Chains A and B, each alone.
Chain A
Amino acid sequence: MTRVEALEDGTPRSLLVFGKQSAPIIFVTFSDFECTMQSELEIPSGLENRQIVDLCIWDNKAAFLFDKNAIAVFELTTRTVVFRATYADATNNISNIYFVSEHSQPSAHSSKVAPEAGMLSGFFLMTETKMQVNKNEAEKVSSRTKLLRKLHLVEIQQSEVKVKKNIERRDRLEQVDELTFGSENPKLVDFVVAP
């Protein structure tokens, strides 16, 4: 176990505790005297041995970013996965993930049809970094520096597809916008207050 994260209001005194590997991710609630509940999140197949890169929490949901740009969103009240997708458009590894609520989106996206009840909707802001190995260092001590490359604004898309016998839910992440930094060294900008 290497990380402990508090959950936001809405869940009584709750935490997520996890290590570098995806399994186990433990959901804990506690009272004044003891941990009242400890249960493991159900990791979807194929992600059990992946490394956890980042995490973001909102409402009763937690989005885990795994290596190879895989994302899984857990509903914490049921401790199950409600969304799972891999973001393939990035040219490098995604290292940070942040959930952007639909309410904070500009009007350009508000014209879209409202999602059905129970379907997950919203956007992720993701940071792509390039890991650069310093070749001057000795092989044993190859240091790495992180360079900010791109910010991806990616929309969560869920759709229900009718298959022969049942209805399947398909999850997808689609690029909405992208900010690319031309210079590796961002310049400070002085803001001038209008008279």
Chain B
Amino acid sequence: MLSELNLGKSAEIIDFTVVQFRYLVVLLKSAALLVFDCERVLNGHERQVRFMFMQKLELD
């Protein structure tokens, strides 16, 4: 799924966490956050995690 976003080298995963046992948040090298909704996968309804959005962090 990351390859579909055409992020190149900035797609390198630095860290990740799960919020409220549902949302997978991935921190990329480019200081962007990728957010996925894992609920339907965890319930067994889908095999692929739905991508919600990607947002670059605003750093001063």
Chain A interface residues (CB < 8 Å from chain B): 1-7, 9, 13-15, 17, 24, 26, 28, 30, 32-35, 38, 40
Q: Within the complex, which residue of A4, A13, A32, A34 is in contact with B16, where a contact is CB–CB below 8 Å?
A: A4
Q: Within the complex, which residue of A24, A34, A35 is in contact with B60, where a contact is CB–CB below 8 Å?
A: A24
Query: Do A3 and B15 have beta carbons less than 8 Å apart?
Result: yes
A contact residues around B19 at 8 Å (CB): 6-7, 13-15
**Could you list some 13 contacts between A and B, CB below 8 A?**
A1-B57, A6-B17, A6-B18, A6-B25, A7-B19, A9-B20, A15-B33, A17-B27, A24-B59, A26-B57, A35-B33, A35-B55, A38-B58
Q: Give the dominant DSSP class at A's interface.
A: strand
Query: Do A13 and B27 have beta carbons less than 8 Å apart?
Result: no
Query: Do A30 and B58 have beta carbons less than 8 Å apart?
Result: no
Q: In the bound complex, how far is the Cα of B55 from the Cα of A13, in angstroms?
A: 15
Query: Do B35 and A30 have beta carbons less than 8 Å apart?
Result: yes
**Chain B interface size, under 10 / 10 to 19 / 20 to 34 / 35 or more:** 20 to 34
A contact residues around B52 at 8 Å (CB): 32-33
Query: Do A17 and B23 have beta carbons less than 8 Å apart?
Result: no
Chain B interface residues (CB < 8 Å from chain A): 14-20, 23, 25-27, 31, 33, 35, 37, 52-53, 55, 57-60
Please list the 4 inter-chain residue pairs (A to B) with the smallest Cβ-Cβ separation, ordered nearest first: A4-B27, A6-B19, A6-B17, A35-B55
Given contacts A1-B14, A13-B20, A15-B17, contact A33 B59 (CB under 8 A): no
B contact residues around A26 at 8 Å (CB): 57, 59
Q: In the bound complex, how far is the Cα of B53 from the Cα of A171, in angstroms?
A: 41
Task: Give A4 Cβ to nearest chain B Cβ, in Å.
Answer: 4
Query: Do A33 and B57 have beta carbons less than 8 Å apart?
Result: no
A contact residues around B26 at 8 Å (CB): 4
A contact residues around B53 at 8 Å (CB): 30, 33-34
Task: Give A26 Cβ to nearest chain B Cβ, in Å.
Answer: 6
Query: Do B59 and A13 have beta carbons less than 8 Å apart?
Result: no
A16 to chain B: closest residue by CB:
B17
